[in-house]
């Protein structure tokens, strides 16, 4: 049984102008110990998906359809009580701009301790402090720094502290939403390697959300490409990079330069993503797609199997 | 960023959108309705003297009545101690309240916003000087100063009162505008204007002011309430303009002629009006707060 | 006076002093730029690559005179700009413009797109109410906002980040400046949008022969966009030269570390790893004690090939390794014998 199975998940936001269909009919599975990268432009629905997996949708967000099967149980129907038992203990999250998630007036060690004691109230204090020290060793922060305040940490250290917080209660699944924005290149590289190392060492499963496919490639085995709320391509990273099928995936990959060889002009994708309050009936990428077929505009695309685990949502690609 | 996309453009668009949000606020609707009623009253204040000179709030004396009477068909709210119609006084009072409230508020906001922007933008010596001035004025009790001035110079004209209120009330808003300006000053679009070669004047009035104005308007609603109350208090204490009929003045007459407990039809209307008009402007301000601060708004439910 | 260089930095130093406060007994000094010397050629796109705190943004701000240098001289087309005032300062502003990092904050939310792009024309008295609209429309079309009439009446919050940045470019270019500073123009945009912006900058250079100082943290972006680049670390240039040469043959350990750290995907297995970064910083330099007159190479604590006898006791000078390629290092890497392997041209890098 896979650790996480998403089936036909659709999420919408209620806005002044109508229902915004942020996520539409997304399905994928994640095995225990696996790592998945969800990639797409801002507004493609990847963050919404991440929030839904933690039961953290804002009040005007709602799961319209589908299932979230975690360890066999459908989380969609969970009450707040049930979510509290799952959050941090089974599934935890590293948010975007996580560095600002640390309270500047409390010591970092205390904040991590608090995260533990909130979700494991039965743990005695001594054990909690030992666990904090263990976490620090795990993520590579010198243990002497436990008593320091956030402003005394460098950017990279703060990010490690956030990761430590996410790992505090031994979750099975971590959702990392753009965990390395605002970090310098070298620190980012160190953090990504750290995440990968921890994942392998602890057998964690990770869903890594980013707009940048190059970052995701460092950490994840599988890649899911999202566009305008839909999953448009999915597969093991090597398969997707070697043989991208969906025109959006191809266009996304073409936005990155090489370091060697001829300096060719990058060919970015023209145009803008569609309005998600009234999305087009057919393929949502149609008007930006260089290889659109005649029926693409009116007929919703269906999944085309490209390889044993590689599929693309496209009528015109095979 | 989700959920806060303004659909229509510019000031007009912002206004229309703000209006939509404003309409949803119960406080805003009640406040606005009340203010409209008072505005109607103010406009209607011109009518009674036209019907019959005896209805003139100040000079109109009923030839047949020369003392305070209760409500009747002739005088819907009764008459005061001289036989003047109370209703027309009430209507005239509404006019005065608006005049005083709005002009004093407008002047103090104009002063406060300009000074706040200049202090915040120029910084250093100019800022220090202006803010020390503001501090000095802020600690002076407005009412007391006006009372002292009145006792020195005798009864003050209504416009003098308005001016004094404005001169004493600008510091509060200037502090707020100044801190808003300070935070705007470092925003990239201000730096972009500098790099483009814009003069200080242009930056203050073309770039900072439009971003600060909504806050000014919000404070203006609060200033209206305090202006009205100050004028009413002054009039009540006997320092008002004797040639103007205001609600405070009416209360003064009730009190001075010993009718406080004898003529509720005379005592209550002006008192209720003062309370209601200040309440309504306050509610307006609160509703505007919701319009201006997106975080206070309620989004529609997903259903 | 015309020469080959449009911009010259000569010994530019910028020190920020923070005033003494309740929490620190004495005022603190931060040296953002130390003795920076570099030239930008006319029509060139020059990349300044560094991490946060390297001083790259400060260099850009000094060039547009948002701040003034503590020491040193900056020249625009041969003229010293540090002392400009009044009319000549305004003239300067016509020639040097800036594109800011944050597209969500660099446009006034209360000003329409038309007004934002038109403002520089108004400030400098160019055109009149008749032809300004045309000039703005032409510029908007050039940056890819088509049809331009659709955008004139809109406001920034109605545009996406990428569109806003195009407007910022249009605003910077409408005066047809000779020099534009682009301060990390894509760091707040998605990777796919970044590529669009880069191409627009290349178009601008082709069409208007404008010189561009491109400030970035990504060597891959710099290699794509720039003719020459300089790698800056803690206020000092570490390596300087043609972008192709520096990327293919980086000689400074820091440059090599930056290349190692670039996120990448594709067939990257055969890419050479320099490994010049220490996992943990070296201890053993007492800086900050007794007001450091002690000079040392700023990269020493993290540098694997460094040797304490030289690197911890003196600051290396920026010297030419070969014509046009300068480096600040006591132990620059030997020219690598690495042959470009087949896979590395199918390896793609994050920008």
List, for residues A134-157, the tens digit of each pLDDT value.
999 888 888 888 999 988 888 888
Taking contacts as CB-CB distances below 8 angstroms, the residues of chain A near C223 are 257, 259, 263
CATH number at residue B276: 1.10.3720.10
C158 touches chain A (CB under 8 A): no
- Which among B137, B289, B177, B133 has a CA at the least distance from the CA of B222? B289
* Cβ within 8 Å of residue A58, ≥6 positions away: A13, A51, B299
Strand order in A35-39's β-sheet? A91-94, A173-177, A205-210, A35-39, A222-227, A230-236, A311-313, A303-305
Between residues A43 and C181, the one the model is more confident about: C181
DSSP string over A23-85: EEEEEEEE-TT-EEEEE--TTSSHHHHHHHHTT---TTEEEEEEEEEETTEEGGG--HHHHHH
Q: How many CB atoms lie within 10 A of CB A88?
A: 22
Task: Indicate if the alpha-carbon torsion angle B286, B289, B290, B295 is positive or negative.
Answer: negative
Q: How far apart are CA B71 and CA B76, in angstroms?
A: 5
- Global pTM value: 0.85
Q: What is the pLDDT of residues B129-139, one digit of tens each?
A: 999 999 998 88
Chain B residue with CA closest to A61: the answer is B302
Residues 15..54 of C with a Cβ closer than 8 Å to A: which?
51-52
Confirm whether B99 is domain-assigned: yes
pLDDT category at A119 given cuts 50, 70, 90 is: confident
| CATH number for region C5-226 | 3.40.50.300
Nearest to A60 among B7, B20, B300 (CB): B300
Q: Choose, out of C45, C190, C279, the residue to mutate when testing the contact with A (most A CBs < 10 Å).
A: C190
Confirm whether B90 is domain-assigned: yes
Q: What pLDDT does B44 receive?
A: 85
* Cβ within 8 Å of residue A107, ≥6 positions away: A146, A147, A148, A149
Confirm whether B302 is domain-assigned: no
| Alpha-carbon distances of A239 from A199, A225, C345, rounded to whole Å | 22, 13, 18
Q: Min CA distance, B14 vs chain C (Å)?
A: 9
pLDDT at B124 over 90: no
Chain C residue with CA closest to A141: the answer is C280
Q: What are phi and psi of C320, to 5 degrees?
A: -75, 130
Any long-range contacts for B272-276 (C-beta under 8 Å, 24+ apart)? B273/B38, B273/B90, B273/B93, B273/B94, B273/B97, B273/B247, B274/B97, B274/B228, B274/B229, B274/B232, B274/B247, B274/B248, B276/B34, B276/B38
Between residues A293 and B204, the one the model is more confident about: B204
Helix (H) or strand (E) holding C74: strand C71-76
- Which among A318, A312, A6, A4 has a CA at the least distance from the CA of A172? A4
Q: What pLDDT does B5 receive?
A: 42
Partner-chain contact C224 A266, CB within 8 Å:
yes
Confirm whether B233 is domain-assigned: yes
Partner-chain contact A14 B302, CB within 8 Å:
yes
Specify the length of chain C in residues: 351
Partner-chain contact B302 A16, CB within 8 Å:
no
Partner-chain contact C64 B195, CB within 8 Å:
yes
Number of domains in chain B: 1
How high does pLDDT run on average in chain A? 87
* Cβ within 8 Å of residue A243, ≥6 positions away: A306, A307, A310
A281 touches chain C (CB under 8 A): no
Q: Min CA distance, B4 vs chain C (Å)?
A: 9
Q: What is the pLDDT of residues B162-211, one digit of tens each?
A: 888 888 888 988 999 999 999 999 899 999 999 999 999 999 989 998 88
Helix (H) or strand (E) holding B70: none
Its domain, for residue B185, covers: 23-52+77-296
Which has the minimum average pLDDT: A60-69, B267-276, B281-290? B281-290
Nearest to A15 among B3, B20, B303 (CB): B3
Q: How far apart are CA A131 and CA A102, in angstroms?
A: 19
Partner-chain contact B9 C101, CB within 8 Å:
no
C163 touches chain A (CB under 8 A): yes
Partner-chain contact A16 B299, CB within 8 Å:
yes
Taking contacts as CB-CB distances below 8 angstroms, the residues of chain B near C124 are 197
Q: A264 in helix, strand or coil?
A: coil
Which has the minimum average pLDDT: A50-64, A168-182, A240-254, C288-302? C288-302
b or e along A147-174 (b: 16 or more beta carbons within 10 Å of the residue's beta carbon)?
Answer: ebbbeebebbbbbbbbbbbbbbbebbbb
Q: How far apart are CA C186 and CA C189, in angstroms?
A: 5
| Alpha-carbon distances of B108 from B134, B148, B162, C319, rounded to whole Å | 12, 21, 10, 64
List the structure tokens of A205: 């499963």
Confirm whether B89 is domain-assigned: yes
Q: What pLDDT does C22 receive?
A: 61
pLDDT in tens, chain C (351 residues): 456 899 999 999 999 987 655 665 666 788 999 999 999 999 999 999 999 889 999 999 999 999 999 999 999 998 999 888 888 899 999 999 999 999 989 999 888 999 999 999 999 999 888 899 999 999 999 999 989 999 998 989 889 899 999 999 999 999 999 999 999 999 989 888 899 999 999 999 999 999 999 999 999 999 999 999 999 999 999 999 999 999 988 999 999 999 999 999 888 877 788 889 988 788 766 554 444 567 889 999 899 998 888 888 889 999 998 888 999 999 988 876 555 554 567 788 988
- Which among C312, C310, C318 has a CA at the least distance from the CA of C251? C318
Q: What pLDDT does C288 receive?
A: 47
Average pLDDT over residues B70-91: 81
Partner-chain contact C224 A257, CB within 8 Å:
yes
B16 touches chain C (CB under 8 A): no
Q: What pLDDT does B300 receive?
A: 39
Nearest to B6 among C97, C108, C157 (CB): C157
Q: Min CA distance, A62 vs chain B (Å)?
A: 6
- Which among B257, B268, B250, B294 has a CA at the least distance from the CA of B85? B250
Residues 258..317 of C with a Cβ closer than 8 Å to A: which?
258-266, 277
Q: Min CA distance, B10 vs chain A (Å)?
A: 19
Q: Min CA distance, A123 vs chain C (Å)?
A: 34
Confirm whether B70 is domain-assigned: no
Taking contacts as CB-CB distances below 8 angstroms, the residues of chain A near B300 are 14-16, 60
Q: Choose, out of B1, B191, B195, B200, the residue to mutate when testing the contact with C (most C CBs < 10 Å).
A: B195
* Cβ within 8 Å of residue C34, ≥6 positions away: C13, C55, C235, C236
Q: Residue B181 burial (CB < 10 Å; 0-12/13-18/19+)?
A: buried
Q: Min CA distance, B139 vs chain C (Å)?
A: 28
pLDDT category at A224 given cuts 50, 70, 90 is: very high
């Amino acid at each position: 049984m896979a650790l996480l199975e998403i089936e036909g998940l659709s999420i919408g936001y209620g806005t002044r102008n109508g229902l915004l269909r942020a996520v539409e009919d997304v399905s994928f599975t994640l095995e225990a110990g696996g790592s998945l990268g969800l990639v797409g432009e801002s507004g493609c629905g990847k963050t919404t998906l991440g929030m839904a997996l933690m039961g953290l949708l804002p009040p005007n967000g709602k799961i319209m359809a589908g299932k979230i099967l975690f360890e066999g149980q459908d989380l969609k129907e969970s009450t707040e009580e049930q979510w509290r038992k799952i959050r941090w203990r089974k599934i935890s999250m590293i948010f975007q701009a996580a560095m600002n998630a640390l309270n500047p007036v409390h010591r970092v060690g205390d904040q991590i301790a608090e995260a533990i004691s909130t979700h494991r109230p039965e743990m005695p204090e001594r054990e909690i402090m030992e666990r904090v020290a263990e976490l620090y060793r795990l993520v590579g922060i010198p243990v002497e720094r436990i008593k320091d305040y956030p402003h005394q940490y460098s950017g990279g250290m703060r990010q490690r502290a956030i990761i430590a917080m996410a790992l505090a209660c031994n979750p099975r699944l971590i959702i990392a939403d753009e965990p390395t924005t605002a970090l310098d290149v070298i620190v980012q590289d160190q953090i990504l390697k750290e995440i990968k190392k921890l994942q392998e060492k602890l057998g964690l499963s990770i869903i890594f959300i980013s707009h940048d496919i190059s970052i995701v490639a460092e950490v994840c085995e599988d890649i899911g490409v999202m566009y305008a709320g839909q999953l448009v391509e999915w597969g093991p990273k090597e398969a997707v990079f070697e043989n991208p099928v969906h025109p959006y995936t191809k266009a996304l990959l073409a936005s990155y330069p090489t370091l060697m060889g001829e300096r060719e002009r990058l060919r970015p994708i023209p145009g803008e993503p569609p309005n998600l309050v009234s999305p087009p009936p057919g393929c949502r990428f149609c008007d930006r797609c260089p290889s659109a077929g005649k029926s693409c505009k009116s007929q919703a695309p269906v999944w085309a199997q490209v390889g044993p685990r590689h599929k693309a949502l496209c009528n015109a690609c095979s | 960023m989700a959920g806060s996309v303004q659909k229509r453009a510019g000031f007009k668009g912002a206004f229309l959108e703000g209006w939509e949000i404003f309409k949803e606020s119960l406080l805003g609707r009640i406040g606005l309705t009340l203010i409209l009623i008072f505005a109607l009253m103010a406009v209607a204040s011109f009518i009674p003297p036209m019907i019959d000179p005896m209805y003139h709030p100040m000079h109109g004396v009923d030839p047949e009545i020369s003392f305070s009477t209760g409500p009747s068909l002739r005088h819907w709210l009764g008459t005061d101690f001289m036989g003047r119609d109370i209703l027309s006084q009430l209507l005239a009072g509404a006019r005065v309240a608006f005049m005083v409230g709005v002009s004093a508020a407008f002047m103090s906001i104009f002063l406060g916003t300009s000074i706040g922007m200049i202090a915040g933008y120029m910084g250093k010596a100019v800022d220090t000087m202006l803010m020390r001035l503001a501090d000095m004025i802020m600690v002076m009790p407005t009412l007391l100063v006006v009372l002292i001035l009145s006792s020195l110079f005798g009864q003050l004209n209504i416009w003098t009162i308005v001016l004094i209120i404005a001169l004493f009330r600008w510091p509060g808003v200037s502090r707020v505008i100044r801190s808003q300006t300070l935070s705007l000053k470092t925003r990239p679009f201000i730096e972009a204007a500098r790099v483009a070669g814009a003069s200080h004047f242009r930056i203050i009035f073309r770039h900072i002011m439009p971003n600060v104005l909504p806050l000014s308007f919000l404070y203006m609603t609060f200033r209206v309430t305090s202006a009205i109350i100050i004028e009413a208090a002054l009039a009540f204490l006997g320092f008002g303009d004797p040639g103007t009929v205001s609600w405070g003045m009416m209360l003064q007459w009730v009190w001075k002629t010993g009718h406080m407990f004898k003529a509720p039809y005379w005592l209550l209307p002006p008192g209720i009006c003062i309370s209601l008009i200040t309440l309504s402007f306050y509610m307006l301000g609160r509703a505007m707060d919701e319009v201006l601060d997106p975080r206070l708004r309620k989004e529609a439910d997903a259903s | 006076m015309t020469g080959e260089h449009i911009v010259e930095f000569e010994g530019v130093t910028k020190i920020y002093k923070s005033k003494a406060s309740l929490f620190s007994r004495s005022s603190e000094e931060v040296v953002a730029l130390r003795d920076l010397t570099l030239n930008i050629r006319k029509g060139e796109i020059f990349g300044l690559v560094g991490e946060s705190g390297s001083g790259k943004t400060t260099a850009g701000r000094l060039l547009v005179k948002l701040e003034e240098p503590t020491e040193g001289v900056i020249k625009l087309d041969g003229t010293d700009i540090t002392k400009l005032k009044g009319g000549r300062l305004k003239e300067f502003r016509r020639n040097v413009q800036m594109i800011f990092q944050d597209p969500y904050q660099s446009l006034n939310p209360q000003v329409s797109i038309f007004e934002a792009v038109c403002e520089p024309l108004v400030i400098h008295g160019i055109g009149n109410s008749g032809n300004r609209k045309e000039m703005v429309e032409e510029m908007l079309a050039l940056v890819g906002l088509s049809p331009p009439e659709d955008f004139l009446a809109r406001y920034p919050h109605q545009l996406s980040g990428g569109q806003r940045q195009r407007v910022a470019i249009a605003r910077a270019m409408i005066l047809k400046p000779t020099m534009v500073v682009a301060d990390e123009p894509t760091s707040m945009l998605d990777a796919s949008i970044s590529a669009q912006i880069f191409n627009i900058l290349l178009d601008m250079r082709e069409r208007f022969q404008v010189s561009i100082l491109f400030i970035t943290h990504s060597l891959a972006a710099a290699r794509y966009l720039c003719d020459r680049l300089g790698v800056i670390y803690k206020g000092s240039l570490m390596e300087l030269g043609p972008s192709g040469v520096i990327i293919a043959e980086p000689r400074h350990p820091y440059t090599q570390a930056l290349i190692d750290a670039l996120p990448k995907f594709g067939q990257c297995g055969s890419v050479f790893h320099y490994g010049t970064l220490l996992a943990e910083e070296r201890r053993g330099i007492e800086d900050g004690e007794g007001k450091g007159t002690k000079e040392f190479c700023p990269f020493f604590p993290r540098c694997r090939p460094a040797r304490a006898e030289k690197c911890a006791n003196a600051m290396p000078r920026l010297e030419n390794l070969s014509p046009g390629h300068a480096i600040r290092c006591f132990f620059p890497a030997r020219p690598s014998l690495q042959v470009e392997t087949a896979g590395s041209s199918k390896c793609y890098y994050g920008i």
